[in-house]
Amino acid sequence: MFKKALPFFIHVITPLHAGTGQELGIVDLPIQRERHTGFPKIEASGLKGSIREVFEENNKKVKVGNKEVSINDKITIDLIFGPEAEVSHAGALGFTDARILLFPVKSMKGVFAHITCPEILKRFKEEMTIAGKEIKINEQKINIDAIPENSYPENDPEILVSNKVILEEYTFEVEPNKDLKLFADWLVQKTDIEEIPQKIVVLSDDDFKDFVHLSTEVITRIKIDNATGTVQTGALFTEEFLPAETLLYSLALASPIFKEKPEEKGIFNQDGKDETELVLAFFKAGRPEVMQIGGDATIGKGIVRIKLWEGSHE
């Protein structure tokens, strides 16, 4: 049973394809989506596998509690993520699906906007509450529930055109909201994405759903036949990507080590120290700032920046 949770943010730097395999739709290789909302996501299993791979390739030494260990130490990785060869015990570190928080959409002014909606904000608040975290800035609690649809921060953002925002070919009348301004400033502290207060806008749930369905990147891929110089038969397909500048979030979930004998717990066997805290300490020490998630790694897709929830701004 997981005892502690640590939120972290995933800022997409290059278009990301976390795929579902082939489907009988318009797009041959669509991205993963929630069944009940259609909102994009990254499955926890894929996220965990990508993070594990980064840990396995990092031989840096870190201190966890009062013990030092290499990040790629096999015993430690098996205790944290679970063994791959056999299912003798579960890993002490789990993850939730990465859910969307902000989605970039082309804007007539300011290049692009970061859109979200009340349903997304509600879910984000609920998950942070489950993790034991409060959304507040300078000791002032931010009232997420008071942020309505069709609103923008109280700071005349660069995407604004006479109290309107024009996204793709659609115009939305919007009103200023002080709680959204506080939330945008809080997100800057948590993610280091400085332009959020200038670009964030809250749309209705339905409008948000339409944009995340219709404004993803869909790329046509081909393979050239070297003998003829033309497209190889059967090698033309379309692939969907989450666009760059998307912001997602997930929870890292820590539990005690699933071993009964103290000598089998490796570096996590430290008298007087909470095993779950040591598990999270190892994750914090080894987590990458930049990593790759999803397919098409060899053509530069799926580069993301990871930002942990830091306590200094709580």
DSSP line for 37-68: T--BEE-HHHHHHHHHHHHHT---EEEETTEE
DSSP line for 68-115: EEETT-HHHHHHHH--SS--SS--SEEEPPEEEEEEEEEBSSSSEEEE
Residue 8 lies in a domain: yes
Residue 226 lies in a domain: no
Residue 134 lies in a domain: yes
Among 150, 149, 98, 94, residue whose Cα is nearest residue 122: 149
Q: How do residues 278-305 score in pLDDT, each as one tens digit?
A: 999 999 999 889 999 999 999 999 999 9
DSSP character for 8? Answer: E
Residue 243 lies in a domain: yes
Among 80, 17, 96, 9, residue whose Cα is nearest residue 293: 17
Task: Note if the pTM is more than 0.85.
Answer: yes
- Decide: helix, strand or coil at residue 10: strand
Confidence tier at 21 by pLDDT (50, 70, 90)? confident
Is 233's pLDDT higher than 90? no
How many independent structural domains does the chain possess?
Answer: 1
Q: Which of 170-174, 214-218, 255-259 has the lowest mean pLDDT?
A: 255-259
Residue 120 lies in a domain: yes
Q: Whole domain around residue 51: which residue ranges? A: 4-221+237-313
How does the average pLDDT of the chain come out, rounded? 92
Confidence tier at 273 by pLDDT (50, 70, 90)? confident
Residue appearing with tokens 């666009």:
243
First to last CA, the chain: 26
Q: How do residues 70-101 score in pLDDT, each as one tens digit?
A: 999 999 999 999 988 766 778 899 999 999 99
Residue 231 lies in a domain: no
- Per-residue model confidence (pLDDT) at position 86: 67
Residue 227 lies in a domain: no
Is 314's pLDDT higher than 60? no
Residue 32 lies in a domain: yes
Which carries the bigger pLDDT value, residue 311 or residue 39?
A: 39
Q: What number of other Cβ atoms are within 10 A of residue 241's Cβ?
A: 25
Which carries the bigger pLDDT value, residue 89 or residue 151?
A: 151
